[in-house]
Amino acid sequence: MDVPTMAEMMAQGKQPEVLFWVGCAGSFDDRAKKISKAFVKLLQKANVDFAVLGTEESCTGDPAKRAGNEFLFQMQAMTNIEVLNAYEVKKIVTACPHCFNTLKNEYPELGGNYKVMHHTEFLKSLLDEGRLTIEGGAFKGKRITFHDPCYLGRANSIYEAPRDLIKKLDVALVEMKRCKINALCCGAGGAQMFKDSEKGDKEIFVERTEEALERSPDIIATGCPFCNTMMTDGVKNKEKENSIKVLDIAELIANAEDL
Amino acid sequence: MTYLPNIIFAILLVAGVGFFVRNIKKIIRNIKLGKSVNRSDNSKARWKNMALIALGQSKMVKRPVAGILHILVYAGFIIINIEVIEIIIDGIFGTHRILSFAGSLYNFLIGAFEILAFLVFISVVIFWIRRMVLQIPRFWNKEMTSWPKNDALNILYFEMVLMSLFLLMNASDYSLQQLGVSHYINAGSFPVSQFIAAWLPQDIHTLELLERGAWWTHIIGIFIFLNYLYYSKHLHILLAFPNTYFANLNPKGQFNNLESVTNEVKLMMDPDADPYAAPADDAPEPEKFGASDVFDLNWVQLLNAYTCTECGRCTSVCPANITGKELSPRAIMMKTRDRLEEVGRNIDTNKEFKPDEKQLLNDYIAPEELWACTSCNACVEECPVNIDPLSIILDMRRYLVMEQSVAPQELNMMMTNIENNAAPWQYNQMDRLNWKDE
């Protein structure tokens, strides 16, 4: 797969239209890597001139900040900002709402000012500009429910871009009881992804998956690698992994057209 | 002797208001114990928030039944208070229904007050039923025992009694007007209390006793209720206004960047900085990172604690609480207020705060509560008056991690990984782009 880096671009004296911030999950997590690839396929299909930082990318510091380690967060942030500013990056797109939120909201005060977009917003803009077309294909007529990632929804008030994309697939979009601004967290935010949950009587991802299953979906769509992990675990927990798929919106669109 | 009631009334008025003002000053003093945070920007958006959310109750109606009943009680509270102005003037000057010169407007107003008083009474009874008969779960979480439970009921009883007294006062007044007793001029309209009047004895002396008795207990009840506020969660009727005005306007996902940390990180990353430099002699004491006590929180967080009326909407949407974890965002606010009041009493007794070997962390809020939070912002979104429990949780996590290094083991591993290889998992940074060829 042809994924140019900023360093290569710079060597050729080129400046890409947008930087794809892959994120740690998108780089290392086996499930999330598929999301990165699906998104790159869409970028290529739409002829978007993009690049990644590759080995120069490092954690935004989000999990450290949410865990309370402001030092580590700011060390990461300032290191990243130095790199981003050196490449004169103007626009960033990422498939991780946690990276998205941190880059968009918490970097400016530390000297990192970029136009930051979540990949669903970016894909929506490509669609609106006519650079990308979406067809139902493989998913036509399927029941899809969308789980709102907290850091996309409540944290940044983005509810419609992912839904607009799903609707383009000629599917039946069914909403969970708690959706959009009232959505229930998958349980991974605030650095919970990296630890066992505290003592309680249920796992949050099971609670959320049960809610999704109430709508008998064929597919649970997400827009976050962590939500994806949690919902996938939830579906396995309910032994439904053969009948229900958990897919990122980028995967939905790419798979629909068999890219 | 004819002026005795006027004098007694004036004394009660001055004492009631004076005691209230004294306590409000204490609240302001306690809130000012918090650190500074700038919320003076964007006053247009702030006024708008206050108008829509506090005055307009826009977030209350998200739950329509409670929301609409609350609006009735709230409208009743504000509008019926116009009548209190007349009661106070009458009390001081010994007049009766001094504002009745307004004629038909007066009649309309008294009629409106009566209907509102009746609706408030009914709403409060329904509130009581929701709490005590239907036992809606958010009123029965484990933090809602003893005082918090009694406080909630006291408020409902207070309102039932005040509304009943108001209607009884009008009913006996109406009967006296009907009987042509000279002092009781024909004024007002009594769409509700005329029905109560039918049940009253038609003896002038008894009616006068009833009317005066209801009039006095009603206004004394209001003075008592006014002063009850300070001890109660009911403070929200006042503090909802400043609380919505000063609430955070940034996107909910944006957590503040600690400036004290920024300075140190800049120094660490500065290649020209002398790593062995000792701090200057006049350098201020290094700032404490995060919060272990109320003094470390900012004043808006402390205002939040006083504003919380313990409705529990936050806790009812908290994913951690729903799944049986120890965390309850409402309890975070209640514990913060409890500690702040303890500090306040300490200052009252000792003139200044005398260390008491206690703090908000551990003595009130356990780390287990803090570590259960997913930072999903559901509690912040849900609060009808824009309280932000998440910011307190985050500040306390910061203290645990940066001052005490007592994060859960797995989180320490995650942070070590970020430090060593720039990712929360143990992968080599040089392998970051391997996915493209897999």
Given this model, what pLDDT does residue B1 score? 53
- Interchain proximity B424–A58, CB inside 8 Å: no
In this complex, do A27 and B433 lie within 8 Å of one another by their Cβ atoms?
Answer: yes
Residue A204 forms contact with B (CB below 8 Å): yes
DSSP 3-state of A169: coil
Residue A111 and residue A100: Cα distance in Å, rounded? 16
Q: Mean pLDDT across the stretch A223-249? A: 96
CATH architecture of the domain formed by A6-127: 3-Layer(aba) Sandwich (3.40)
The architecture (CATH level 2) of B259-266+288-428 comes to: Orthogonal Bundle (1.10)
- Structure confidence at residue A135 (pLDDT): 81
Option in A55, A71, A72 nearest B429 (CB): A55
Residue in A closest to B317 by C-alpha: A184
Same fold, A6-127 and A134-256: yes
Q: What's the residue count for chain B?
A: 438
Phi-psi region of B345 (alpha: psi -120 to 50; beta: other; left: phi over 0): alpha
CA distance A235 to B11: 70
As a whole number of angstroms, the distance between CA A150 and CA A147 comes to 9
Chain A residues in contact with B368 by the CB 8 A cut-off are 198-199
CA distances from B75 to A182, A211, B117, B227, B352 (A): 28, 38, 10, 21, 41
Q: What is the rounded distance in angstroms from the CA atom of residue B235 to the CA atom of residue B229? A: 5
Question: What is the C-alpha to C-alpha distance for residues B416 and B423, in angstroms, rounded to an integer?
Answer: 9
N-terminal to C-terminal alpha carbon distance within chain A: 12
Q: Check CB contact under 8 Å for A68 and B368.
A: no
Return the bridge partners of A221, or none. A146, A247
Over range B413-421, report the average pLDDT.
Answer: 95
Min CA distance, A79 vs chain B (Å)?
9
Please state which of the ranges A236-250, B47-61, B275-289, B319-333 shows the lowest mean pLDDT: B275-289
Instruction: Give the full edge-to-edge strand order of the sheet including A143-146.
Output: A172-173, A143-146, A219-222, A245-248
Q: Label residue B141 left, alpha or beta by phi (over 0 means left) and psi (-120 to 50 means alpha).
A: beta
**Residues in A touching B326 (Cβ below 8 Å):** 198-200
Per-residue CA distances from A228 to A60, B183, B319 (Å): 19, 77, 17
Find which of B250, B265, B289 to mutate to test the A interface (most A CBs within 10 Å of its CB): B265
Give residue B96's pLDDT: 85
| CA–CA gap between residue B64 and residue A193 (Å, rounded) | 35
Q: Considering CB atoms only, which of A27, A66, A196 is closest to B375?
A: A66
The two three-digit tokens of residue B145, written as one number:
């025992």
Q: Which residues of B touch A29 (CB under 8 A)?
A: 425
Q: Which residues of chain A does B380 touch, with a Cβ-Cβ cutoff of 8 Å?
A: 154
How many H helices and E strands in chain B? 17, 0
Residue of B nearest to A2 (CA): B436
Alpha helices (runs of H) in B358-398, residue ranges in sequence order: 367-371, 378-382, 389-398
Q: For residue B279, what pLDDT band results from cuts at 50, 70 and 90?
A: low
> What digits encode the pLDDT tens for the residues B317-373?
999 999 999 999 999 999 999 999 999 999 999 999 999 999 999 999 999 999 999
Whole-angstrom Cα distance, residue A96 to residue A116?
11
**Mutual orientation of helices A204-213 and A225-237 as an angle, nearest 10°?**
80
Q: How close does chain A come to B359, measured CA to CA in Å?
A: 19
B394 neighbourhood in chain A, CB within 8 Å: 66, 68
Pairing of strands A91-94, A245-248: unpaired
| Percent over 70 (pLDDT), chain A | 100
Q: Is B290 close to A68, i.e. CB distance below 8 A?
A: yes
pLDDT for A219 equals 96
Backbone angles phi, psi at B140, to 5 degrees: -125, 15
| Cα of B433 to nearest chain A Cα, Å | 5
Chain A 23-52, CB below 8 Å of chain B: which residues? 24, 26-29, 33, 36-37, 40, 52
**Which of A3, A53, A69 best probes binding to B when mutated, by most B CB atoms within 10 angstroms?**
A69
**Residue B435 dihedral angles phi and psi, to the nearest 5°:** -55, -30
Of B262, B322, B418, the CB nearest to A72: B418
pLDDT digits (tens, 9 = 90+) for A189-223: 999 999 999 999 999 999 999 999 999 999 999 99
CA dist B226 and B22 (Å) reads 12
Cβ <8 Å between B322 and A182:
no
Fold (CATH) for A134-256: Rossmann fold (3.40.50)
Query: What DSSP character marks residue A147?
Result: P
Q: What average pLDDT is seen over chain B?
A: 92
Helix (H) or strand (E) holding A248, with range, is strand A245-248
Contact check, Cβ <8 Å, A71/B257: no
Pick from A63, A105, A181: CB nearest B254: A105
Pair B226, B16: CB distance under 8 Å: yes
* Burial per residue of B205-221, b for 16 or more beta-carbon CB atoms within 10 angstroms, e otherwise: eebbebbeebbbbbbeb
Strand partners, A144: A173, A219
Q: Do B410 and A194 touch (CB under 8 A)?
A: yes
Picking from B307, B330, B338, B336, the residue whose alpha carbon sits closest to that of residue B378 is: B330
Query: Nearest 5°: CA angle at B309, between B306 and B312?
Result: 125
Give the model's pLDDT for residue B265: 87
Mean pLDDT, range B192-204, rounded to an integer:
88
Of A1, A106, A204, the CB nearest to B374: A204
Q: Please identify among residues 52-91 of chain A the ones whose CB lies closer than 8 Å to any CB of chain B.
A: 52, 54-55, 57-59, 61, 63-72, 74-76, 78-79
Residue numbers in B near A195 (CB within 8 A): 371, 408, 410-411, 414
User: Which of B376, B400, B438 lies closest to A68 in CB terms?
Assistant: B400
Q: Which of A70, A155, A187 faces B258 most closely, judged by CB atoms? A: A70
| Mutation for testing the A interface, residue in B59, B264, B410, B436 having most A CBs under 10 Å | B436
The helix (run of H) or strand (run of E) holding residue A167 is helix A160-167
- Contact state of B374 with A192 under an 8 Å Cβ cutoff: yes
Residue of chain A nearest B371, judged by CA positions: A198
**Which pTM value belongs to this model?**
0.94
Residues A225 and B331: their CA atoms lie apart, in Å, by: 32
A131-148 pLDDT per residue, tens: 999 887 788 889 999 999
Cβ contacts from A onto B, under 8 A: 220
User: Residue A69: its chain B contacts at CB < 8 A?
Assistant: 398, 401-402, 407, 415
User: Are B188 and B90 within 8 A, CB to CB?
Assistant: no
The separation between the first and the last C-alpha atoms of chain B, rounded to the nearest angstrom, is 99
A133 touches B at CB < 8 Å = no
How sure is the predictor about B286, in pLDDT bands with cuts at 50, 70 and 90?
confident
pLDDT(B183) > 90 = no
Which residues in A lie closer than 8 A to residue B405 (C-beta atoms)?
none
Whole-number Å distance between alpha carbons of A248 and A227: 9
Our CA angle for B372, B378, B379, nearest 5°, is 75
The H-or-E segment that residue B24 falls in is helix B4-31
Nearest-angstrom CA–CA distance, B201 and A89: 86
| A182 lies within 8 A of chain B by CB | yes
Across the range A18-39, mean pLDDT stands at 97
For residue A26, which residues of chain B lie inside 8 Å, CB to CB?
Answer: 435
Domain ranges of chain A: 6-127, 134-256
**pLDDT over threshold 60, residue B308:** yes
pLDDT digits (tens, 9 = 90+) for A147-173: 999 999 999 999 999 999 999 999 999
Nearest CA in chain B to A33: B435
DSSP letters for B123-181: HHHHHHIIIIIS--GGGSSTTSSHHHHHHHHHHHHHHHHHHHHHHHHHHHHHHHHHTT-
Nearest to A59 among B323, B327, B423 (CB): B423
Please give the C-alpha separations between residue A169 and each of A40, A144, A159, A252, B141, in angstroms, as whole numbers. Answer: 19, 10, 17, 8, 44
CB B237 within 8 A of CB B384: no
Q: How many residues does chain A have?
A: 259
Burial A181-205 (b: 16+ CB within 10 A, else e): ebbbbbbbbbbbbbbebbebeebbb
Cα gap B413→B419, rounded to integer Å: 10
